[in-house]
Amino acid sequence: MFKQNIKKIKPDWLMKKISFTHKRDVETALKEIGINTVCQEAMCPNISECFSKKVATFMILGATCTRACSYCNVKTGTPIGVDQEEPEKITNAVMYLGLKHVVITSVTRDDLHDGGANQFIECTKAIKKIDSNITVELLIPDLKYSSEALNNIANCGAEIVGHNIETVPRLYHIRKGANYKKSLGVLKTLKNANPKLKIKSSYMLGLGESEDELKESLKDLFNMGCTLLTMGQYLAPSRVHEKVIEYITPKKFNEYKNMAKKIGFEFVKSSPYTRSSYMAHEYFENS
C-alpha cells in the first residue's frame, strides 16, 4: 500500500490578505530611488500592512545571497560589487517615507572581506547625518564571525543590532554555512563591544522544534545579552523549500511570549505573522 502524501493545509489564522494599493505606491517609489527591501525579496506576508504605514526594511548589498538556506526565498548566486551610492539612496528613501526608525538588513556576502560590515556602517552614518534623532536598527548576517567587523558594527551609532538565531540547535542544518554556537557568539561579541547596545534576535517556529528545545535556546539567547525578541510562524515560500512541520496556534505563541518574558526578555513580539522587523519601532519605544 502506498503512503498517501497529504498536503498540510493552512489554518484560518494564516489566511492574511494582501492589499496591493499601498504596496504598489511604495514599491514604485523605492524602485525609482534604487533600493531593495527584504519585504519584497523574502515575500513577507506583512508587506501591505507595513507599506501602508510607510514602513520598510531596507536590504543593502544587492539582492543575491552567497548562501542557500533551505527556508529562504532570497536569490542565491554570485553577487555584484558594492554600490558606493547606496548610503545616499537609503537616506533618500528615509526622507521620502518620513521614517523615524530605520531598519537595514542585507543578504549574506561571504565574498566581501568584512562580510559587508562597512556598508552597514556607512548607511548608519549617512542617516544620522541627516537627522541624529532617527533611530537605526541593523539586522546583520554573521559577517563571517569577524570580531573586528562586529566591534565596528556595535559602535557605529545604531541603537539596535539584531542577528537572527532562527531555530533550535537540532535543526541548524537548514542554515547553510551557519553554526548555532557561533551565531550566539555574534550576539555576545556585539554586547561586549557596546554594553549600551540593544541586542535583538528572532525565531521561525513550526520547523519541528519542541517546547523544551525552544526554552533552552531562549535561555542561551538571553545569556548572550539579547533582550529583544520576535517569534513567528515559518511559512515555506515554495514546495522546494523546507517543509512546515507544524502550524503553531496564536494561543501557543502567546504562551511562548510569556515564557520568554519570564526568562527576562524586555520586549517580545510573538504571533503567527510576526517577522524579525515587524513593527520594529515598538521595540525601541517600549524597551
140: pLDDT strictly greater than 90: yes
Q: Which CATH superfamily is domain 16-286 in?
A: Aldolase class I (3.20.20.70)
Question: pLDDT tens digits, residue range 14-49?
Answer: 765 555 455 566 666 677 777 766 555 545 555 556
Q: Grade residue 1 by pLDDT with cuts at 50, 70 and 90.
A: very low
pLDDT value for 22: 52
Query: What angle do the packed helices 211-223 and 250-263 form, to 10 degrees?
Result: 40
pTM metric for this prediction? 0.87
Question: pLDDT tens digits, residue range 151-203?
Answer: 999 999 999 999 999 999 999 999 988 899 999 999 999 999 999 999 999 99
Domain ranges of the chain: 16-286
**What is the grid cell recorded at 30?**
523605492
Question: What would the mean pLDDT of 251-267 be, rounded to a whole number?
Answer: 97
**Rg, Å, the chain Cα set:** 18
DSSP letters, 43-103, are: T-TTHHHHHHTT--EEEES-S-BS---TT--S-BS------TTHHHHHHHHHHHHT-SEEE
Question: What would the mean pLDDT of 123-144 be, rounded to a whole number?
Answer: 95
198-205 β-sheet, strand order? 36-37, 57-60, 101-106, 135-139, 160-162, 198-205, 228-233, 267-270
